[in-house]
Amino acid sequence: MRRCLPVLTIAVSLCVALPSRADDLLLDRFRDYVESLRTQAGIPGLAAAIVGNNDIVWERGFGRQDLERSIATRTDTPFHLDGLTQIFTAAMVLRCVEEGTLSLDDRIGQYKPGSPEPDVTLRQLLTHTSGAADALVFAYRPERLDPLKAAVRACTGDSYRETLANLLVRLAMTDSVPGPDMIHPELLTEGVPDAAAVERYARVLERLATPYAVDQLRRASPSQYTATTITPRSGLISTVRDLAKFHLALRNGILLRGETIALAWQAPLGRDGQRLPHGLGWFVQSYNGETVVWQFGVGETGSSSLVMTVPMRGLTLILLANSTGLVKPFPLVAGDVTVSPFARLFLGMFVR
């Protein structure tokens, strides 16, 4: 028995260690593929993270966040999120729905009478649909989300920007800024932050990735960010680490109840009885029989982002870039994330 004990110990250790080693190999391989895709896409700087059920399981910075000063991209490098801002908008609206202060069937005209589509419901805005409930039509137009500012204000009593800033503080997303104009309080028309907050935001914005326009020969030249302020569809600045906190809060029921997330991650039916591509704030689709929820963001020239969650596996991929290369070459607005090689790689490796 005494002789068996060391053998048993080693066998048990190997059983525990081997899967972990296999995971490491898989993640190393994923890292190398991401790097090669980044190079081919001509993306100067890319930050990536894979989030598990309880923590970040892998994170990495690729390339340069600033080519001229040769500053390497890090996982705490802030990037513009552009369209990803809408998942925060969705979370805030859904939180209000949980609290009973808003209903998804409220018409936006109740909160913003001058809205271009006063009869459209909050549900339709968040799912990018229009038309009668039994004949919904999908059209991805993020600018339609803008009137949701008024709905959020009606719910929380604070401006959209303040509500978002409070959410970021609550989730300890300390490297996130609710709008690039946050450091110019004199220009803000809503929610003037205190001096300490302005200083903190300024420190984050000093580290903001430099945006680049990349031509067909993969030559990068400094560019400008499109978003100049916060709106329900763009303007949020964050890092992959902070976005990981947001997703962990979502997954662990800190931000929203499980049933609310389940509701959000179910796409409505269209007129032909087929599921439309977009749920409440997220695209929703099936891959190999599993649900995949995702969202993307892209600026006109210097930024792009992609977030993808496979709820059944408890995995989320977060990618942030300082050029449009993560999104612009691919027709993501049609609602199929597999047109992105980055998404295909992730799904091919982790959802087999």
Partner 1 sequence: MHRRPNANELRGRDTSQAGQVRLTLRVGLVSLVLLLCATPQASAEWQIKPFLGVTFAGSTTFVHPADAVASPHVAFGLSGIWLGEILGAEADVGYVRGFFGDQNVIVGNIAPVVGSSAVTLTGNVVVALPRRLTQYTLRPYFVGGAGLIRASIDPGVGGGGLQVASTRPGMDLGGGVTGFLSKRVGLGWDVRHFRSIGTGEERGLSFGPEQLSFWRANMALAIRY
Closest listed residue to residue 255, CA positions, set 96, 128, 141, 112: 96
Measured from the CB atom, the residue of 124 and 285 that comes closer to partner 1 is 285
Among residues 127 and 159, whose Cβ is nearest to partner 1?
A: 127
Nearest distance from C-beta of residue 35 to partner 1, angstroms: 6
Using the minimum distance from each CB to partner 1, give the nearer residue, 198 or 351: 351
Given a contact cutoff of 8 angstroms between Cβ atoms, the answer to whether 237 and 180 are in contact is: yes
Minimum distance, C-beta of residue 66 to partner 1, in the bound complex (Å): 23
In the complex, which residues of this chain contact partner 1 (CB under 8 A)?
26, 28-33, 35-37, 39-41, 137-140, 270, 272, 274, 276-277, 285, 325, 329-331, 333-336, 338-341, 343-349, 352
Residue number with CB closer to partner 1 (46 or 92): 46
Smallest distance from the beta carbon of 270 to partner 1, in angstroms? 7
Which residues 6+ apart lie within 8 Å of 43 measured at CB? 62, 63, 214, 321, 322, 323, 325, 326
CB–CB of 254/73 below 8 Å? no
Residue with tokens 């929203």: 256
- The two tokens of residue 323 are 């050029």
**Residue 140: CB minimum distance to partner 1, A:** 5
What's the per-residue H, E or C state across 197-265? Answer: HHHHHHHHHHCCCCCEEECCCCCEEECCCCCCCCECCECEEECHHHHHHHHHHHHCCCCCCHHHHHHHC
Q: Shortest gap between Cβ of 27 and partner 1 (angstroms)?
A: 10
- Looking at the Cβ atoms of 257 and 271, the one nearer to partner 1 is 271
